[in-house]
Amino acid sequence: MKENLIHRAIDVLDANFQEGGFTIPSKGLYPFQWKWDSGFIAIGLAHYNTDHAKKEIETLLNAQWDNGFIPHIVFHTDDDSYFPGHDFHRSDLHPLSSKKYKSTGMTQPPVTGFVLQDMLRIVEDKEDMLDFIKGQIDKVYDNHVYFYENRDPQNEGLVYIYHNWESGTDNSPVWDDIWDTMNPPEYTFERKDTTHVDASERPSKREYDHYLYIIDIAKQNNYDDAKIAELSPFLVQDPLFNAMLIKSNQALIELYEIIGGNDDKITYLKKNQERSIAAFNQKLWDAELGAYVHYDLRNNTPIRHVSSSSFSPLFAAIPSKERAEVLVNTMMERFGGDDKYLCASFDPTNDRFNPRKYWRGPVWINMNWMLYRGLKEYGYTDIAERVKNDSIELVERDGFFEYFDCRKDTGDETRKGYGGDNFSWSAALIIDLLK
């Protein structure tokens, strides 16, 4: 059973690996290279094809801009099965964007630092991997410097995202609060996602109007970070994004310590790490909800909802033992009923919860993988095992889909997962969970 699932996962990853040296998340639906997908995919690849794992990261980092920025999508080909493509995003507007690769002008959660450390954990030939890491790590470091120097206008130790696509959790109900503050024009465009996936599992047309409008404002300002901080209607300190930065900071510190030298970089990272963790605990913790929440920097107000992003700080060792206890209790009370798989992407007790729709409720394997690791680290072994087993059960029964219904009984005998099929990070992280 276990070996069979691993073989099927490997088939998914191999079929999605492209000649250009990267892996598409899902054929048709997502035909390019996505930043945080690449990281999770490399973790899976490291278990059975070190060359592909290294190539995945190398290809992504080749598309880095001269200011250290790493884009969220690298458009390696002219595939027109995805909207909005490179002609809408226009990365060339930024003076320091890559001259070689077309990309978006927004980023995604900074996972690459901890991914390098995981690749080292996984492979047998540590020396060979360390050589690879030595050749790449400074690019990831530059990316962290980019964040601290450009995405933290009030110098708080927390970085902002300016678009919901930067969060990785595209249509989370958390963003509804922000959509309420905006009134974008009605755009005319041809959706592609709904030609691949049932529209009931995807964001609405009106939500896409918001997504496009925020990009238009960034483009009018040539993707200038300071201008975006000043003008973007969407400006958020996201707990998931900042937890990934903190997790990756720690990985970079530990990797540089293994490599030796680099004292100035270690000092810079440690200084920011301390500030970031303190600010995270101070600003993003909601004592009443017993969870970490998003902060709307544009409107100066916390966005008080519990989502799977609220639990990601466990993976980055951010909460104290006591606070972790409160957080895990919140999770079990709201998300952990016997009728549900862990872990829904949005609070099942909230009116906005929808178990079928993308980031508004379904289970995502990447979030579960992080949660599993975090829970284990804090000593919640039984709950961690449940998260792991739930993930495996869902994939085994429903297929290597993009997301999964969190309800044990959906009333549908022929149930399947939702979104894209043969989805790369679901395959990659199942391999890591099973090994």
Q: Cβ neighbours of residue 60 under 8 Å, at least 6 residues apart?
A: 22, 33, 35, 38, 70, 74, 112
Least distance to ligand 9YW, CB of residue 167, Å: 8
Q: Which residues 164-193 are close enough to bind ligand 9YW by CB under 6 A?
A: 168, 170
Q: Does 156 bind ligand 9YW (CB under 6 A)?
A: no
Q: Does 22 bind ligand 9YW (CB under 6 A)?
A: no
- What tokens appear for 209 in the block? 């109007």
Tell me which stretch binds ligand 9YW (CB under 6 A): 30-38, 40-48, 172-180, 262-270: 30-38
Q: Are 399 and 427 in contact (CB under 8 A)?
A: no
In 260-364, alpha helices (H)? 263-283, 321-335
- Going from the C-alpha of 338 to that of each of 172, 273, 283, 346, 384, the distances in angstroms are 24, 38, 33, 17, 15
Catalytic annotation on 264? no
Burial of 58 (0-12, 13-18, 19+ CB in 10 A): middle
Among 9, 17, 22, 37, binds ligand 9YW (CB under 6 A): 37
Catalytic annotation on 3? no
Exactly one of 138, 170, 377, 396 is catalytic; name it: 170
Q: Does 105 bind ligand 9YW (CB under 6 A)?
A: no
Q: Does 346 bind ligand 9YW (CB under 6 A)?
A: no
Beta carbon nearer to ligand 9YW, 152 or 201: 201
Least distance to ligand 9YW, CB of residue 168, Å: 4
- Between the two ends of the chain, the Cα-to-Cα distance in Å is 13
Among 17, 22, 36, 418, binds ligand 9YW (CB under 6 A): 36
User: Nearest to ligand 9YW by Cβ — which residue?
Assistant: 25
Least distance to ligand 9YW, CB of residue 84, Å: 9
Least distance to ligand 9YW, CB of residue 143, Å: 17
Q: How many CA atoms lie within 13 A of 85 on its CB side?
A: 15
Q: Does 238 bind ligand 9YW (CB under 6 A)?
A: no
Q: Are 60 and 70 in contact (CB under 8 A)?
A: yes
Beta carbon nearer to ligand 9YW, 132 or 353: 353
CA–CA–CA angle 115, 431, 106 (5° rounding): 40
Q: Are 86 and 102 in contact (CB under 8 A)?
A: yes
Among 12, 17, 21, 25, binds ligand 9YW (CB under 6 A): 25
Per the DSSP assignment, residues forming a β-bridge with 301 are 296
In 108-200, alpha helices (H)? 112-122, 126-150, 164-167, 176-179, 193-196
Q: Which residues 264-283 are close enough to bind ligand 9YW by CB under 6 A?
A: none
Exactly one of 398, 402, 421, 432 is catalytic; name it: 402
Least distance to ligand 9YW, CB of residue 39, Å: 10
Q: Are 305 and 268 in contact (CB under 8 A)?
A: no
Q: Which residues are catalytic?
A: 170, 402
Binding site for ligand 9YW (CB under 6 A): 25, 30, 34, 36-37, 168, 170
